[in-house]
Amino acid sequence: MLQVASITLMQQTKSIRDVIIADKKILIRVDFNVPMDKDFNISDDTRMREALPTIDYCIDNNAQSIILVSHLGRPKDKNPEFSLKHILKRLERLLGRDVAFADNIESARILQNTLPKGGVILLENIRFYEGEEKNSQELSEELASLCDIYVNDAFGTSHRAHSSTYGVAGFVKEKVAGLLLKKEIDSFAKALANPLKPVLLIVGGSKVSSKLDLLFNILDVVDKIIIGGAMSNTFLKALGYDMQKSLIEEALIEDAKKILSLAKTKNVKIYLPVDVVSTDDIKEHKNIKITPAQDVPEGYMAVDMGPATTKLFAQVVHSSQTIIWNGPLGIYEISQFSRGTFNIAHSIADTYAFSLIGGGDTADAIDKAGERDNMSFISTGGGASLELLEGKILPAFEVLDKK
């Protein structure tokens, strides 16, 4: 039961509530990696809003200064389009106070010593520093020199061993989890370590390869698995169906067979589409057909689940007490192929089950289905939530103080 052991261990991490904040210099690693259009308008500020409770906690508990560290995108050199200046106004509006901007670590240090008590400083994109992704000791020490207490509240990057998420903790006396990081791990514990049964995993997306470890690892934890999206094509092919032009990972057909066989021995029920929506072309589709899964027309590809599958999956959802969902179940970005994913979202919203949603695409699909407020918990980390479900201990948790 690898998942349960690693999650229980991560739950032992000290939180910001376990240390004295008053008169201390605080450095918080936040995740402000938010989507923006070409005019730098933020289309979704969820990650920023999720960081507010930790920042407010530091302000309310009389911290001397608060420095916020984040990355934005994957900049090559110091590309101005990835500057965190673009999010400063939104941050000030959300916090309801002025936030000072520091172009570099030295100016952050100067601001720290000149601003009135409780001042909030946003440091320029940490990925502008070459050493960040290399977890350089020099950068880690520089960041550590800015604070008495290091707080990690960036769940979305907690699976990365970078200077600002990992290395810095080695040079700070007190290093703790922020309120979001704590909320994330407690929600995963509720779904995996101590769940209400039966537990259902819904898994989708385009590739089996990205979810292979998850599927092998989670069979000891769940009672039922729904496999949808393009990855279900590989499983249907493993059952001997001719999936025509559908996206299939030929190299993983044997793995799919192993998962189906292992699930049977562990008494885990796996549900695959019984009918599919298929088309002759994804972008310029002239023809769309609904057929049994084993009867995809020649030259067509499966792009969504059919109405019979929707009804079957809804019954599986309604008979579950804990639901974990990672990955959309069709090409939901195209309206004709979004029905399966949206119907699953509506089905989950109609239950009293504890629902844990992981992955950016899944959260986006739930938003588009209008069901965000009807889910128990939507994780802010795609890759991080996937690694948690795979039973891994996330690097960011490894270096924080334990109770």
* 339 counts as catalytic: no
β-strands 149-152, 25-29 pairing: parallel
CA end-to-end span of the chain, whole Å?
23
* Dihedral (CA of 208, 225, 323, 275) sign: positive
* Beta-ladder partners of 121: 67, 100
Write the secondary structure of 64-133 as one string of H (helix), E (strand) and C (coil): CEEEEECCCCCCCCCCHHHCCHHHHHHHHHHHCCCCEEECCHHHHHHHHHHCCCCEEEEECCHHHCCCCC
CA distance 75 to 265: 47
Catalytic residue among 73, 134, 383, 392: 383
Catalytic residue among 47, 90, 182, 211: 47
β-strands 25-29, 275-279 pairing: unpaired
* 156 counts as catalytic: no
Q: Is the distance from CB of 174 to CB of 152 less than 8 angstroms?
A: no
Catalytic residue among 134, 360, 368, 372: 360
* 228 counts as catalytic: no
CA distance 40 to 391: 37
Catalytic residue among 134, 207, 258, 289: 207
CA distances from 248 to 159, 266, 303, 391 (A): 28, 26, 12, 26
**Angle formed by the axes of helices 382-389 and 2-11, nearest 10°:** 120
For residues 38-72, b (16+ Cβ closer than 10 Å) or e, as one string?
eeeebeebebbebbbebbebbbebebbbbbbbbbb
* 340 counts as catalytic: no
CA distance 102 to 109: 9
β-strands 288-292, 275-279 pairing: antiparallel
Neighbours of 340 (CB within 10 A): 27
Place of tokens 């990365």: 160
For residue 52, give the amino acid letter.
L
Catalytic residues: 47, 207, 360, 383
